Amino acid sequence: MQDYNINVNYNGVQNQRKTSIADVKLNRAKSQVSKTTIHKEPSSRNNLTLQKATAVVFAGATKINQYIGELTENTVTQRKRQVGLTLAGFGVLAATNPIAAGIGAAMYIGNAAIQYNITAYKENLSADFLKQLSGGVYNTRK
Task: Say if residue 53's pLDDT is above 60.
Answer: yes
H-type helices in the chain, by residue range? Answer: 11-15, 21-36, 50-72, 75-96, 98-134
Range of the domain at 102: 98-142
Residue 69 in domain: yes
Q: Does residue 116 share a domain with residue 133?
A: yes
Q: Check residue 17 and give its pLDDT.
A: 56
| Phi/psi at 107 (5° precision) | -65, -40
Note the pTM of the prediction, 2 decimals: 0.50
Q: Does residue 92 share a domain with residue 111?
A: no
Q: Check residue 20 and give its pLDDT.
A: 61
* DSSP-assigned letters across all residues of 21-55: HHHHHHHHHHHHHHHHT-------GGG--HHHHHH
Q: Check residue 121 and give its pLDDT.
A: 92
Q: Does residue 90 share a domain with residue 72?
A: yes
Q: What is the pLDDT of residues 77-110, one digit of tens each?
A: 888 999 899 888 888 888 888 898 889 889 999 9
Residues 108-127: what's their mean pLDDT?
90
